[in-house]
Amino acid sequence: MKKWLTIGLALILVLSVIAACGNNKENNGKQGADAGGKKKFAIIFKNTGNPYGEKEMEGFKLAIEELGHEAILKAPDQPTAEAQIQMIEELISQEVDAIAIVGNDPDALQPALTKAMDKGIKVLSLDSGVNPQSRMVHVNQADPERIGRVQVQAIYDMIGGKGEIAVLSATSQATNQNVWIEWMKKELEDPKYADMKLVKVAYGDDLRDKSVSETEALLKSFPNLKGIISPTTVGIAAAGKVLTDKGLKGKVQLTGLGLPSEMADYIESGVSQWMYLWNPVDVGYLAGFAADALVSGKITGKVGDKFTAGRLGEKEIIADGEGTQIMLGDPFKFDGANIAEWKKVY
Ligand code: RAM
């Protein structure tokens, strides 16, 4: 009898140790962060010195502070995956609750991001996504197909449907730009574009000086160039400056994705007749609320999950290939008629 009692007590002890370990695993690395009630939400942008990125981070901070938590804003000097991996490792050691990443590479961050998720940190991407295995959900600014196609349609109208065009992109690894460029190429397959030729995709790496020199190189290598599409706010502003300085207004057309505050002069002068974008503050803000919904367990990142994103209202998670996403809205067209109003906003 006594023997059975001893065995029974030993069993209870073993089971409670296992249960305690289980709990510990669930909260792994989180006790510190949760202790004061305030949770830590981090965002990592592609690189520093990009006003678009600053707006995106500002929106994220706005959401996190509205929710009563602490926001950590980070961006490496150079837009590389290696630099972001180092930051992810630091955030894991800091025991943050969530990491929102604007990826410099779709796959290279996977080991670091899965390590974070294994430690109980909620991971999501925004703007420039990482592969579905590396995140729980992606916050998308707008439908990539619409973003890609609309820029080709714009340059077609601007150059009268004939001639050589080039793309000035960000880095060659940037997920968002690469997806948009794929859609541009699909749009160009339409017979309506038979007289238009995409001669080169150049990479300015979202660095101002490199974007300027890449634009100059395009103009030199392709003297008959009729149009440039730049699906990056850094690239389009650099191209706008080069075309202005070289007096090429009306000779080489320019469109793409631009920040109104940086592009107003070039839209007003006609160097770029029109361009597109969305509100970068809202992209960050939506990511902030999505991160909070993941941390609080309101959503897990699966299709059909719903949450309220502050002033943006209710949002629903939808499919995105093998992964899932939350969509902000539609790309917005900026031209001479509305740029004065928008340049003050972002
Ligand atoms: C640049 C960045 C950003 C992209 C915009 C359009 O600022 O590459 O990721 O969304 O352009």
What percent of the chain stands above pLDDT 90? Answer: 89
Q: How far apart are the C-alpha atoms of 255 and 154, rounded to whole Å?
A: 7
Give the closest residue (by CA) to ligand 1 atom 6.
232
DSSP conformation class of 42: E
Where does CATH 3.40.50.2300 sit in the chain? 39-141+280-329, 144-277
Average pLDDT over residues 29-51: 79
Neighbours of 16 (CB within 10 A): 10
Q: Which two tokens stand for residue 284?
A: 């960050």
Going from the Cα of 232 to the center of ligand 1, the distance in angstroms, rounded, reads: 5
Instruction: Please say whether the beta carbons of 115 and 99 come within 8 A.
Output: no
From the alpha carbon of 170, which atom of ligand 1 is closest?
A: 8
From the alpha carbon of 257, which atom of ligand 1 is closest?
A: 6
- The best mutation among 56, 127, 281 to test binding of ligand 1, ranked by most ligand atoms within 8 Å of the C-beta, falls on 127
Q: How far apart are the C-alpha atoms of 315 and 305, rounded to whole Å?
A: 8
Give the closest residue (by CA) to ligand 1 atom 11.
232
Give the closest residue (by CA) to ligand 1 atom 8.
232
For residue range 310-338, list pLDDT tens digits in order.
Answer: 999 999 999 999 999 999 999 999 999 99
Q: How far, in Å, are 1, 11, 149, 244, 341 from residue 236 at the CA level?
A: 83, 68, 17, 12, 20
For residue range 165-211, list pLDDT tens digits in order.
Answer: 999 999 999 999 999 999 999 999 999 999 999 999 999 999 999 99
Give the closest residue (by CA) to ligand 1 atom 5.
232
CATH class of 39-141+280-329: alpha beta
Query: For residue 36, what pLDDT is reported?
Result: 59
Query: For residue 37, what pLDDT is reported?
Result: 82
Q: How far, in Å, are 1, 19, 258 from residue 7 at the CA level?
A: 10, 18, 72
Q: Which two tokens stand for residue 153?
A: 């349609």
Q: What are phi and psi of 263, to 5 degrees?
A: -105, -5
Q: Which two tokens stand for residue 163?
A: 């001639």
CATH class of 144-277: alpha beta
Q: How far apart are the C-alpha atoms of 302 and 2, rounded to whole Å?
A: 52
Average pLDDT over residues 222-226: 98
pLDDT at 99 over 50: yes
pTM of the model: 0.90
- The best mutation among 48, 50, 58, 80 to test binding of ligand 1, ranked by most ligand atoms within 8 Å of the C-beta, falls on 50
Q: Which two tokens stand for residue 64?
A: 């996190």
From 133, 59, 71, 78, select the one nearest 99 (Cα to Cα): 71
For residue range 124-164, list pLDDT tens digits in order.
Answer: 999 999 999 999 999 999 999 999 999 999 999 999 999 99
pLDDT at 22 over 90: no
Going from the Cα of 319 to the center of ligand 1, the distance in angstroms, rounded, reads: 23
From 82, 136, 174, 153, select the one nearest 287 (Cα to Cα): 136
pLDDT at 2 over 60: no
